[in-house]
């Protein structure tokens, strides 16, 4: 996973590596000055007597600066090393935080682009809760993995510097210390595995929990209406309990590693100091300096393993997110046409058939062709109403016209230009679509119409609301078009929500307006208001409405009845 990060963010990673290396060198510079400083502290009259590489380096350094090798000058060197190290670490931590925020955003945008660019049949087979979990939890945990990875790299650099300094003081003691550290790491690695397995469990149960929760919140009104609020807890009990267990396991692994490391490292240091003083009669200054350096080295190894543990706990989220993105990218929508075409005369379906099996769409419930040898002409600047029983193929016709699915035989033509030869994105930008569900955002009326498009002005929104028959009630709201509509449009009636959806569809002045059973849940009075609005709109654009209601058939210029995927003759 670290290799993936380094390959994906090479510039930032190289810069951080250099800064962290400088921090480690600065820290090693300050730590290594302890040896001559301690010799001066323990041997006030003798000065620095030990002839080793570190002492000679600092004697030469001080001489080049015209400074005497005093305790004060060496303490100054140590202070400079500490200050430089912390300055570099501050810069590195700051950059790691900034990059982590960028990593989170890039993960989310990659996922969003991959999912929205995927084939419609793939998209509708995905769990909304799972995608929401990938967008939120997995992207956040994956960015944490990057942070832990970079900090792990920093700790490794510092550990390497400490090891070099320790080798210069006593390579024998350093090798023994490294061997002991390896044994401790191996012994305590079981706690790392606990955290890693707990992280895998969290990834699995976060996915399941968010998927179930999303479905549950969509049905919460019926739960409350039936007085079965407690059912929500029962539905989510399995996921929440197992997620809690996984979280507790991670806490256990982290706490156990923390508790086990410290005593083992202190035993190693204690035995080392005892042998150095009693067995080998080493000088007190050397023993003290070596004890301090090796203590920092051992603790650094402990920090490395703890950081690796945190990284391992988040690793599964990273791979799960990459898998979700890769799955969506392999299902990318392909459309080879490049021709630009504007609807001006008609939309024609010529001998069109659509079969889920032949189209390689996963829908086990559909065995027979949905559309069979359908010939249909939809004139421009007119209102065409498509009616028929449930399962007759009405929505499939709309999906074919919008290019969400492709016919298994026959062709769809826009003014005699085959839809397969057209630029699909350009064609879809000419379409306004109103679904059956009144899906409004918990935001202002203005934002619900514009959907964040900054090119749309207040005047454009008011014009769209007026065309949809919604401006009167919009102006009566507390803050006009800038009033909050509530969760899923709760502050509006069903008919008002529907008219806002129509305004959203027409605000960019499309050539084609499609209403997919958009009036099925409305009362007759509200439906008449919308029919009047559509009668005005058909003078400016082509309107296709799927409906079971008689009101839309009365104002339609053409009524098409479908039966078992074919046009009925009655």
Q: In the prediction, which pLDDT does 363 show?
A: 46
Residue 401 · residue 354 · CB < 8 Å: no
Q: What is the mean pLDDT of residues 383-392?
A: 84
Express each pLDDT in 331-361 by its tens digit.
Answer: 888 777 788 888 888 989 999 888 876 655 5
Which tokens in the block code for residue 148?
């832990």
Q: Look at 108-117, 230-239, 447-456, 470-479 and tell me which has the smallest mean pLDDT.
A: 230-239
pLDDT-based confidence at residue 367 (cuts at 50, 70, 90)? very low
- For the chain, give every domain's residue range: 2-330, 346-567
The band of 228, judged by pLDDT with boundaries at 50, 70 and 90, is low
User: Does 322 have pLDDT greater than 70?
Assistant: yes
Q: 120-137 pLDDT, tens per residue?
A: 878 877 877 888 888 888
> Directed axis angle between helix 230-274 and helix 171-218, to 10°?
180
Q: Give, in order, the Cα–Cα distances in Å from 546 to each of 333, 493, 506, 507, 549.
A: 26, 22, 17, 21, 9
Indicate the length of the chain as a whole number.
Answer: 570
The 3-state DSSP composition of the chain as helix, strand, coil percent (nearest 5) reads: 65, 10, 25
Residue 224 has pLDDT above 50, yes or no: yes
- Our CA dihedral for 502, 503, 508, 514, rounded to 10 degrees, sits at 10
CA distances, 99 to each of 12, 87, 135, 523 (Å) = 8, 18, 18, 53
pLDDT bin (cut points 50, 70, 90) of residue 539 is: confident
Segment 48-53 shows an average pLDDT of: 60
pLDDT digit string, tens, across residues 240-289? 888 888 888 888 888 888 888 778 888 887 777 777 676 666 666 667 76
Beta-bridge partner residues of 536: none
For the record, the structure tokens of 206 come out as 């976060």
Q: Say if pTM beats, i.e. exceeds, 0.75.
A: no
Q: How many CB atoms lie within 10 A of CB 541?
A: 22
Q: CATH topology for 346-567?
A: Rossmann fold (3.40.50)
pLDDT digits (tens, 9 = 90+) for 522-535: 667 777 777 877 78
Give burial (CB, 10 Å; 0-12/13-18/19+) of 227.
exposed
Q: Which CATH number applies to 2-330?
A: 1.20.1560.10
- What is the tens place of the pLDDT at every residue in 84-105? 888 888 888 788 778 778 888 8
Contact (Cβ atoms closer than 8 angstroms) between residue 415 and residue 511: no
Only one residue has tokens 């090479």, namely 10
pLDDT of residue 51: 58
Q: Residue 283 contacts by C-beta under 8 Å, 6 or more apart in sequence?
A: 39, 42, 50
pLDDT at 330 over 50: yes
Given this model, what pLDDT does residue 229 score?
Answer: 66
Q: What is the pLDDT of residue 279?
A: 67
The b-or-e profile of 492-506 (16+ CB within 10 A means b, else e) is beebbbbbbbbbbbb
**Once rounded to an integer, what is the mean pLDDT over residues 475-485?**
86
Alpha helices in 134-170 (DSSP H): 139-169
Closest CA to 20 of 81, 80, 91, 71: 91
Mapping DSSP onto H, E and C, the string for 332-379 reads ECCCCCCECCCCCCEEEEEEEEECCCCCCCCCCCCCCCCEEEEEEEEE
CB atoms within 10 A of CB 343: 20
pLDDT in tens, 22-48: 887 787 777 777 667 766 766 654 555
Non-local CB neighbours of 394 within 8 Å, separated by 6+ positions: 386, 387, 388, 546, 562
pLDDT above 50: residue 445: yes
Taking the alpha carbons of 522, 525, 530, 535 in that order, is the dihedral positive or negative?
Answer: positive
CA 445/CA 486 separation, integer angstroms: 10
Instruction: Give the pLDDT of residue 522.
Output: 62
pLDDT given at position 28: 73
Residue 366 clears pLDDT 50, i.e. is over it: no
Average of per-residue pLDDT across 381-393: 84
The C-alpha R_g of the chain, in whole angstroms, comes to: 35
In this predicted structure, the answer to whether residue 318 has a pLDDT above a threshold of 80 is yes
Question: So what's the pLDDT on residue 570?
Answer: 53
- pLDDT value at 494 more than 80: no
- What distance in Å separates the CA atoms of residue 405 and residue 393, rounded to the nearest whole number? 13
As a whole number of angstroms, the distance between CA 377 and CA 362 comes to 29
Residue 526 φ then ψ, to 5°: -65, -40
The predicted-structure confidence for 394-432, as pLDDT tens digits, reads as follows 888 888 988 888 888 889 999 888 988 888 888 888 888
């Amino acid at each position: 996973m670290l290799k993936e990060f380094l390959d994906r963010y090479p510039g930032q990673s190289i810069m951080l590596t250099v800064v962290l290396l400088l921090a480690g060198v600065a820290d090693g510079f300050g730590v290594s000055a302890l040896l001559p400083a301690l010799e001066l502290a323990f041997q006030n009259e003798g000065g620095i007597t030990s002839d080793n590489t570190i002492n000679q380096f600092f004697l030469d350094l001080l001489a080049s600066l015209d400074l005497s090798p005093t305790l004060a000058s060496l303490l100054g060197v140590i202070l400079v090393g500490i200050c430089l190290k912390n300055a570099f670490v501050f810069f590195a931590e700051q950059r790691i935080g900034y990059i982590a925020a960028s990593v989170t955003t890039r993960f989310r945008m990659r996922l969003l682009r991959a999912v929205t660019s995927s084939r419609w049949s793939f998209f509708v087979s995905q769990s909304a809760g799972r995608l929401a979990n990938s967008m939120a939890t997995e992207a956040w945990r994956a960015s944490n993995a990057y942070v832990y990875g970079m900090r792990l790299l920093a700790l490794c650099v510092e550990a390497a510097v400490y090891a070099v300094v320790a080798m210069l003081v006593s390579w024998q003691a350093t090798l023994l210390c490294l061997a002991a550290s390896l044994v401790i790491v191996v012994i305590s690695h079981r706690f790392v595995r606990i955290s890693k397995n707990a992280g895998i469990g969290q990834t699995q149960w976060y996915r399941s929990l968010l998927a179930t929760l999303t479905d549950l919140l969509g049905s919460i009104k019926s739960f409350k209406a039936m007085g079965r609020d407690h059912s929500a807890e029962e539905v989510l009990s399995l996921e929440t309990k197992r997620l809690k267990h996984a979280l507790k396991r991670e806490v256990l692994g982290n706490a156990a590693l923390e508790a086990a490391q410290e005593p083992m490292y202190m035993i190693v240091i204690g035995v080392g100091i005892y042998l150095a003083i009693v067995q080998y009669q080493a000088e007190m200054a050397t023993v003290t300096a070596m004890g301090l350096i090796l203590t920092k080295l051992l603790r650094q190894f402990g920090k490395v393993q703890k950081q690796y543990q945190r990284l391992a706990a988040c690793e599964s989220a990273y791979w799960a997110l990459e898998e979700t993105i890769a799955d969506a990218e392999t299902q990318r929508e392909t459309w080879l046409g490049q021709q630009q075409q504007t609807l001006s005369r008609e939309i024609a379906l010529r001998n069109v058939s659509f079969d889920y099996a032949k189209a390689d769409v996963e829908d086990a419930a559909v065995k027979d062709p949905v559309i069979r040898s359908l010939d249909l002409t939809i004139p421009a600047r007119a209102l065409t109403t498509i009616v028929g029983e449930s399962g007759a193929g009405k929505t499939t016709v709309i999906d074919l016209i919008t290019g969400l699915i492709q016919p298994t035989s026959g062709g769809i033509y826009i003014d005699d230009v085959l839809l397969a030869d057209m630029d699909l994105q350009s064609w879809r930008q000419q379409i306004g679509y109103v679904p059956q569900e009144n899906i409004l955002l918990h935001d202002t009326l203005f934002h619900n119409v514009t959907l964040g498009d900054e090119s749309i002005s207040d005047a454009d929104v008011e014009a769209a609301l007026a065309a949809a028959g919604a401006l009167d009630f919009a102006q009566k709201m507390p803050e006009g078009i800038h009033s909050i509509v509530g969760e899923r449009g709760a502050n509006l009636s069903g008919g008002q929500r529907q008219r806002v959806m129509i305004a959203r569809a027409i605000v960019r002045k499309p050539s084609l307006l499609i209403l997919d059973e958009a009036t099925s849940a409305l009362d007759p009075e509200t439906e008449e208001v919308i029919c009047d609005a559509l009668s005005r709109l058909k003078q400016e654009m082509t309107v296709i409405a799927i409906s079971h209601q008689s009101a839309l058939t009365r104002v339609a210029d053409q009524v098409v009845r479908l039966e078992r995927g074919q046009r009925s003759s009655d």
